[in-house]
Structure 1
Amino acid sequence: MSKAYLILADGSFFEGNSIGAEGKTIGETVFTTGMTGYVETLTDPSYFGQIVTQTFPLIGNYGVQPEDFESKKSWVRGYIVRELCDGPSNFRCQGDLDSFLKAQNIVGICGIDTRKLTKILREAGVMNGMIISGQEAEKIGIKKADDGSCQLVSEAILKEIKEYKIENAVESVQSLCKEKGGDFKGQRPLGEGVAENAEGACSEGETSPVKFSVCLFDFGAKANIERELEKRGCKVTVLPYDATAQDVIELNPDGIMLSNGPGDPAENVSIIEEIRKLCQSKIPIFGICLGHQMLALARGAKTSKLKYGHRGGNHPVKDLESGRVYITSQNHGYAVESDTIPAYAKLSFVNANDNTCEGLTYTDIPAFSVQFHPEACGGPHDTNFLFDRFIAMMQEK
C-alpha cells in the first residue's frame, strides 16, 4: 500500500495507507458508530459531501453485496477506516471493499488512529478535512518538525480545506428518479438485484396486494423506504425534489412520504414552500430525517447544526408517550430546535443522549415525522412500526 495522509482544518495530521482510489479529496469529516452496514453507509445519499470515518475498527469483513445498496452509487467524498479487511468471507459477497472504492473513485485511508480522530471531532465538532495520496501527496510539501514528532502543511493547503462547502446537496443526489413521476422500478441501476424480495435484503418476502398509493419525494431517498412501503401494500410513485404541490395533488395519492437526504435543510427554500402547500391538502404525510426537518421548517419551526451530529446504528431515542426507549439508526448533522416547535405540533421522540428533537406529531393535520431511520438497513429495526402507523393514518383518512 502507498502512503496516504489525512489533514483536518485545524491542522491535525494523520499518516496512514491508501485505500480505494489515489488522489485528493476534500469534504466535511464526520464519524459513524455503526458496527455493520458499511455498504449501506457508502451508498446512502445523505453522506453527500462528507468524508466518513468508521469508528468500528475492522471494516470490509463481509465484502460488498450490490442488492444492499441504498442508491445507484457511493456519495461519500472520502472514506476512513482503522483496518480494512482484504479477504472478506460471506455467502452473499460479490467483491471486496477496496475494489468497490476504486470502482467508485472514492479516495480513502486506513491504518490511522480512528479513536483519536473521533475524539477530535467530538471535542471540536465536525470540520473539513483532506485525504491525499499517490502523486497528489508528493506535491503538497509535507514537512516534519525538528523533533520528528509532527508534520507541518502549508497555509495554502489549510486554506483550501477550510474553504470547502457542501452546496446544492439535494439537487446533486437525485438517486431514485430523474423525471417527474418516474417509477422507481426499472430505474434501479442494479435492476432486479435490488428488488423488494432480493435474497438477504432487509425487507424479505413478497409485497402485499396494492391498497394505497404513495408519493415519495426523493431528496436523496434510501431504497429501503420504498421497499418498506411496498411490503405494506403501497404503490409508490417517486417524485424528484423539485416536484410541486400541484404535481402531487393531481396524482391524488393516499399519502406523501418525505425522504431523507443531505445538506442543510434550511437551504431548500422552494421545497419547503411546496411542503407548506401540501400541508393544506390534508393528505397524510410521513417525514424521515431531512423530510422531518423540512416539514418542521414548513410549519414554522427552526433548525440548527449539531456539534458533531448523530451517525450510526446505536442511538437511543425515547418515545414520550409510552416512555419506552428505542435503539435507532441515524445519519444527520442538523436538528429541529425544540423550543421553536409550533403550538399545533407536539414532541413525540427525544434523543436520550442529548435531549434533541427526534420526532414530531402534528395535531392540526394528518402528519408526523422522525429524525431517525425506521427503515434502517442493516438495522436496528426497533421502530419499523412507524410505517404501520403511516398505513393506519392513510386507512383512517
Structure 2
Amino acid sequence: MKYQTRKPALILLADGTIFHGKAVGGKNGSAFGEVCFNTGMTGYQEIFTDPSYFGQLMVTTNAHIGNYGTTKDEVESDSIKIAGLICRNFSYHYSRAEADASLEEFLNDNNLLAISDVDTRALVSYIRDNGAMNAVITTEVDKLEDLKKRLSEVPNMNGLELASKVSTKEPYFYGDENASYKISALDIGIKKNILRNLAERDCYIKVFPYNASFEDMKAFNPDGYFLSNGPGDPEPLTEAIETTKQIIASGKPLFGICLGHQVLALANGISTYKMHHGHRGINHPILNLVVGKGEITSQNHGFAINREEAEAHAEVEITHLHLNDHTAAGIRLKDKPVFSVQYHPEASPGPHDSRYLFDDFVAHIKNSK
C-alpha cells in the first residue's frame, strides 16, 4: 500500500517551527515558498493553477484533497502555479465520473512536491497567530541545517515582483473576433475564467504582457480596459501603475480584480500593505455599500489597499467592505467609469454572487459608446 511505504516529510517554517507529514507519491526533494492556507472545501485544482498563488506553499484546510480527481476543464492557467501542497488526507483514488485523472497523476505531470498526514489544523492556527511566512516542505529530513540556510535566502513576499513570472510573453486573443465589444486586458497573472466571463458577455479580448505600454493597449482600439489578478507585491509594478494612470486619463471604462485592484489604488496615490496572513477561501463575506447587500465571495490575496487613504481621497469611493476585518474590498472613481474589487467575481468553482460586476463593466462600455 502506498500509505505504508511513503517517505517521512516535514514542513520547516522560517522561525524554526517544524510540522511533520509524509510524502505524497514518489516525488522527493524540497520546495520553498511562502506558506499560506485556503479554506475552500472544493476547487483545489483551480487553486493549484491560479497564477495568484505563484511561489506559495498551499495548506488546504479541507480534510480530504483529491477525492474527486482532476479534469482538463478545471484549470486557471497552463500549469500548476503553487510551489508545493500541504494537506491532511490525500486521496489517491477518486470517484467522480467526469474526472480524467487522479490528483496524484496531475501533481506528477506538473512535477509538484506534496505532503500529507500533516496536522493542518495546528499549522493553520499557527499561521493565523504568527502570520504568513516563508517555509520549506521536504523529504530531506536529515538535512535540516542546510535547509535552514537555504530557507534564509528565500526572498520575502513583501516587495517581491512576481507578475513577470506568470504573465504572457506575447499578446494573444480570446473570444469571438466578431463580438460587440473589444477589451484590452493587462495580464499580471490572469485566470482563464475571467476571460471566459468576458467572452460570455460578447467581448473580444486582447491580452497583453505585464509590462505593456498604454500605447500598445490603445492600438487595439478597445472599448474598455481590464487589469487582472496576479501574485506578489503590487508596489514594484511601476510599468503597470503608469499604464493604469494613462488608461484612467483616457476616460475609457476600466475594471480591475485583485492585484489589478491594488494597482488601480496605487495609480491613484493610495498605498498598499502586506496583510498578516491574507484572505484565501471561497466563503468570504462582502458588503456592497452601493446597494446595501451582502455577497459571499472567493478571495486569494496577501496584500490590501489602505482604507483610510481611500476614504480620504476626494476622487475615490469605497464600494465594498470585507465584513470579517473591514478592509476595503472595492473602489470606484467618482467621475469616471473606473472600478475594481479585491476579490474574484469570476469565482471558479464559486460562489457566483459577484458575477454581476462583469455585467456592470459591460454596461459602462455600452454607456460610453
Q: Do both proteins adopt the same fold according to a TM-score greater than 0.5, normalized to the shorter chain?
A: yes
Equivalent residue letter for 1:178: K
1:267 counterpart SS class? coil
1:276 counterpart SS class? helix
Of 350, 356, 363, which residue of structure 2 is paired with 1:385? Answer: 356
1:297 counterpart SS class? helix
Matches within 5 A, 1:1-397: 1-19=6-24, 21-133=27-139, 136-138=140-142, 140=143, 153-154=144-145, 156-165=146-155, 166=157, 167-174=160-167, 177-180=168-171, 182-184=172-174, 210-341=179-310, 342-397=313-368
1:365, distance to aligned residue in structure 2 (A)? 1.9
Q: Distance in 2 between matches of 1:42 and 1:49?
A: 11
**1:54 and 1:81 in contact (8 A); partners too:** yes
Q: Distance in 2 between matches of 1:184 and 1:137?
A: 46
1:209, distance to aligned residue in structure 2 (A)? 6.9
**1:23 and 1:137 in contact (8 A); partners too:** no
Q: Distance in 2 between matches of 1:55 and 1:324?
A: 28
**2:35 and 2:57 in contact (8 A); partners too:** yes
1:395 counterpart SS class? helix
2:207 counterpart SS class? strand
The alignment's C-alpha RMSD in Å is 1.5
Q: Compared with structure 1, are the counterparts of its residues 263 and 170 closer, same or farther at alpha carbon in structure 2 (3 Å cutoff)?
A: same
Q: Distance in 2 between matches of 1:274 and 1:211?
A: 25
Equivalent residue letter for 1:157: L
Q: Distance in 2 between matches of 1:358 and 1:178?
A: 30
Equivalent residue letter for 2:336: I
1:157, distance to aligned residue in structure 2 (A)? 3.2
Q: Distance in 2 between matches of 1:387 and 1:217?
A: 16
**2:173 and 2:204 in contact (8 A); partners too:** no
Q: Distance in 2 between matches of 1:179 and 1:99?
A: 30
**2:173 and 2:207 in contact (8 A); partners too:** yes
Deviations 1:98-150 (A, max 9, x none): 121121111111001000000000000001111111xx334x0xxxxxxxxxx
Q: Distance in 2 between matches of 1:77 and 1:249?
A: 35
> Could you tell me the TM-score, scaled by structure 2's length?
0.94
Q: Compared with structure 1, are the counterparts of its residues 61 and 208 closer, same or farther at alpha carbon in structure 2 (3 Å cutoff)?
A: farther
Q: Distance in 2 between matches of 1:97 and 1:3?
A: 20
1:331 counterpart SS class? strand
**1:208 and 1:232 in contact (8 A); partners too:** no
Equivalent residue letter for 1:123: D
**2:48 and 2:81 in contact (8 A); partners too:** yes
**1:23 and 1:132 in contact (8 A); partners too:** yes
4+ aligned runs moved over 4 Å, structure 1: none
Structure 2 residue ranges without an equivalent (≥5):
1-5
**1:208 and 1:233 in contact (8 A); partners too:** no
**1:208 and 1:231 in contact (8 A); partners too:** no
Structure 1 residue ranges without an equivalent (≥5):
141-152, 186-206
**2:88 and 2:117 in contact (8 A); partners too:** yes
Identity percentage over the alignment? 41
Q: Distance in 1 between matches of 2:51 and 2:136?
A: 20
Q: Distance in 1 between matches of 2:174 and 2:345?
A: 20
